[in-house]
Amino acid sequence: MSTVDSPMTAVAPDSIQTPNQPAADRPAWWPAVGETAREFPVTRLETLAGAIPEGLRGRLYRNGAARLERGGRRNGHWFDGDGAIAAIAFHQDDSGTYATATQKFVKTSGYIEEERAGTLLYGNYGTTAPGAFWNRWLRPVKHSANTSVLALPDRLLALWEGGAPYSLDLETLATRELDTAISESSYSAHPKRDPQTGEIFNFGVVPGANTALMLYRHRADGTPIDRQAHPLSELGLSGLPMLHDFVLAGSYLVFCVPPVSANPLEVVAGLKTYGESMVWSGNRATTILVFDRETLELVARGETGPWFQWHFANGFVDGSGRIVIDLACYDDFTTNEFLRQVSQGAIETEASARLERITIDPTSGRCLDRETRIDRRCEFPVVAPRAVGGETETVFVTTHRPEGQPFGDLFGAIARYDVNPDCLTVLDCGDRVYPSEPIVAPGAGESDWLVFPVFVAAACRSEVWIASADRLEEGAVCRLALPEVVPIGFHGTWQAG
DSSP lists the bridge partners of residue 435 as: 454
Q: What angle do CA 347, 490, 314 make, to 5 degrees?
A: 115
pLDDT at 290: 98
Contact (CB, 8 A) for 102 and 37: no
Q: pLDDT digit string (tens) for 179-211?
A: 999 998 999 999 999 999 999 999 999 988 889
What's the pLDDT score for residue 207?
85
Query: pTM for the complete prediction?
Result: 0.93
| Cβ-contact 245, 190 below 8 angstroms | yes
**Distance from C-alpha of 259 to C-alpha of 287, rounded to nearest angstrom:** 8
pLDDT per residue over 107-120, tens digit each?
A: 999 999 999 999 99
Each residue of 246-290: pLDDT tens digit?
A: 999 999 999 999 999 887 777 766 778 888 889 999 999 999 999
pLDDT at residue number 245: 98
User: What does the pLDDT read at residue 10?
Assistant: 35
Cα separation, 96 vs 483, whole angstroms: 21
Go through the chain and tell me how many residues it has: 497
Mean pLDDT of 408-430: 95
Sign of CA dihedral 101, 107, 108, 113: positive
Instruction: Give one word for 56, left, alpha or beta, with left for phi > 0 and alpha for psi -120 to 50.
Output: beta
Q: What is the mean pLDDT of the chain?
A: 92
φ and ψ at residue 188, rounded to 5 degrees: -65, 165
Non-local (6+) Cβ contacts of 398 within 8 A are 378, 379, 380, 411, 413, 414, 415, 435, 436, 437, 438
pLDDT tens-place string over residues 438-454 = 999 998 666 899 999 99
What are the φ/ψ torsions at residue 280 (nearest 5 degrees)?
-85, 125
Residue-wise DSSP of 285-350: PEEEEEEETTT--EEEEEEE---EEEEEEEEEE-TTS-EEEEEEEESSSHHHHHHHHHHHT-----
Confidence band for 135, pLDDT divided at 50, 70 and 90: low
The 10s digit of each residue's pLDDT in 307-359 is 999 999 999 999 999 999 999 999 999 999 999 999 999 999 999 999 999 99
Helix and strand counts by DSSP (H, E) for the chain: 5, 37
pLDDT at 4: 58
- What is the percent of the chain with per-residue pLDDT over 90, rounded to a whole number? 80
Q: What is the pLDDT of residues 30-77, one digit of tens each?
A: 999 999 999 999 999 999 999 999 889 999 999 999 999 999 999 999
Q: Which of 322, 319, 252 is nearest to 289 (CA)?
A: 252
User: pLDDT higher for 137 or 319?
Assistant: 319
Residue 492's identity, in one-letter code, is: G
**Helices marked H in 109-220 — which ranges?**
109-117, 135-138
Percent above pLDDT 70 for the chain: 93
Q: What is the pLDDT of residue 20?
A: 44
Cα dihedral sign for 231, 237, 239, 244?
negative
The confidence score (pLDDT) of residue 149 equals 98
Residue 147 banded pLDDT, cuts 50, 70, 90? very high
In this predicted structure, what is the pLDDT of residue 136? Answer: 62
Q: CA separation (Å) from 35 to 29, 56, 294? A: 10, 32, 45
Q: Taking residues 371-398, what's their average pLDDT?
A: 96
Is 2-38+178-496 in CATH node 2.130.10? yes
Name the pLDDT band for 84 (thresholds 50, 70, 90): very high
| Domain residue extents for the chain | 2-38+178-496
The secondary structure of residue 165, as a DSSP letter, is: P
| 277 membership: H or E segment, kind and range | helix 274-277
